[in-house]
Amino acid sequence: MTELILPAVISCIVAFVVVFAMTPPLIKFLEKRNMAVKDMNKKENVMVVRPGGISIIVGIVMSELVLYAFLQLNEILAMLITTTAAFVIGYIDDRKVMGGWFKPVALALAAIPIIALGAYDTDLAFPLFGTVQIPVLYLALIIFMIPITGNTINSIDVLNGVASGFMVIASFSLSICLFIMQNYEIAIVSLPLGFVSLAFYKYHKIPSRIFPGDSGALTLGAMYGSIAIIGGVEIIAAIALLPAVINSFLFLSSVKKIVEHRQIKGKPVEHTNDFRLKATTDKSAPITLVRLILAGGPLSEKQVGFAIFKLTIFSGILAIITAFLMDVIL
Amino acid sequence: MKSSLYGFLFAMWILILLGGGIMVTLLGPFSIQQFGDFNWILASGIKVLIALVLVTIWILILLKLKNWMFKKEIKF
């Protein structure tokens, strides 16, 4: 355990510093190239650059390579290849509008390195009831897990700072769970995700100076999903991610098909005269987490963001309780 | 509304724990012995089928729960 402290500290510093230092020049570079989109939740015509996924992936790759130099785990390589592939998929989607099926299918293919490098265990562990061995089913779970986590994080990236702030809470909750379960190596592998998200949050928080874009959201989501698989904490990871899962669930159950957000005609959220957010009365608009939060009345963008963070802290606590329950068998 | 969301989150957590229990109980001891080399493939196929049925039931319960918990707030 003590021999892991040095690589853990170095990789966390690298993850944070790289993203923190690289994002401002990236913002200037993207501004020069006019790679900006309108911030829809601002009264003025505010343009925000994207994709910030470039600094996120550099931070992840550099910090994980540091860890690989120390630990030389196949799991790190598998996670890195899958995460990088997710970044490329997201970057393609940032530059060129792709169909609704592109990302799920491409992300499913991105999960193949985890299988190819054997960075998984076919036992699915449940709290209170033990494990179940499902060799074939587990392969399907790997293929589905990366598209689900990637698109889930992407779907919650709707307000300033929400995706990165959400990932800070969810990934640190997952790291705590891995430490509780004494899976120290993968716990350390998971830490850079939290630090990368934290550094990016500095620039993504309201008022955003940069958006992560699909490349950033898919990178964060795919890394989270990969850690869940290589750490054998799939159930706990799903619990820590519950607010985003609810968002996707509400969206899919109201739209009833896999579709890009930009293809939806009715908007779930409208603006008041003072540009606070309010839930739409349009029955054709999809149900989302933000729409449900706003059902009680209009709120500012910042208030909605904090409401989501509170829900994420709640689900993080549930995930930590679940990690303790893993050792309890009825 | 926000308390309903916390309630829904908690209900999802309970459903995950219960669903896991049912999965371990049903799939854990499941095995087939009579078909020689095909035992493994058949057992896996049936496990996949049972898991799909369980997931479908899980989603249906969640849909009912969602409609029950949020219908008052949003008329959809």
Cβ–Cβ < 8 Å for A56, A200: yes
Tokens of A68: 């690989």
Q: How far is CA A307 from CA A157, A312, A326, B1, in A?
A: 14, 9, 29, 11
Does A61 fall in a domain?
Answer: yes
For residue A177, give the nearest of A131, A124, A234 by alpha carbon: A234
pLDDT digits (tens, 9 = 90+) for A182-223: 999 999 999 999 999 999 999 999 999 999 999 999 999 999
Does A262 fall in a domain?
Answer: no
Per-residue confidence in pLDDT tens, chain A, 330 aa: 778 999 999 999 999 999 999 999 999 999 999 999 999 888 888 999 999 999 999 999 999 999 999 999 999 999 999 999 999 999 999 988 777 788 899 999 999 999 999 999 888 888 888 888 888 888 988 999 999 999 999 999 999 999 999 999 999 999 999 999 999 999 999 999 999 999 999 999 999 999 999 999 999 999 999 999 999 999 999 999 999 999 988 888 887 766 666 666 678 888 898 889 998 888 778 888 999 899 888 999 999 999 999 999 999 999 999 999 998 877
Residue A133 CB neighbour total at 10 angstroms: 13
Does A58 fall in a domain?
Answer: yes
Q: How far is CA A75 from CA A118, A140, A229, A245, B15, in A?
A: 8, 18, 9, 25, 30
Chains A and B: how many Cβ contacts under 8 Å? 98
Does A283 fall in a domain?
Answer: no
Cα–Cα distance, A53 to A215 (Å, whole number): 5
Chain A residue numbers with beta carbons less than 8 Å from the beta carbon of B38 are: none
Strands A130-133 and A269-271: unpaired
Could you tell me if A136 lies within 8 Å of chain B, comparing CB atoms? yes
Number of domains in chain A: 1
Chain A residue numbers with beta carbons less than 8 Å from the beta carbon of B62 are: 249
Calculated CA dihedral for residues A206, A211, A217, A220, nearest 10 degrees: -70
Closest residue to B9, CB basis, from A134, A246, A279: A246
Does A281 fall in a domain?
Answer: no
CA distance B24 to chain A (A): 5
Domain range for A109 = 2-255+303-325
- Work out whether the CA dihedral A162, A218, A231, B21 comes out positive or negative: positive
Where in chain A does DSSP place strands (E)? Answer: 36-38, 47-49, 123-126, 130-133, 269-271, 277-279
Cβ–Cβ < 8 Å for A292, A316: no
pLDDT digits (tens, 9 = 90+) for A109-141: 999 999 999 999 888 888 888 888 888 888 988
Asked if the ipTM is above 0.85, the reply is yes
Does A287 fall in a domain?
Answer: no
Chain B residue numbers with beta carbons less than 8 Å from the beta carbon of A127 are: 17, 20
Angle between helices A162-180 and A242-255 (to 10 degrees): 130
Closest residue to B5, CB basis, from A238, A283, A292: A292
Does A63 fall in a domain?
Answer: yes
**Do B28 and A135 make contact, defined as CB atoms within 8 angstroms?**
no
Does A221 fall in a domain?
Answer: yes
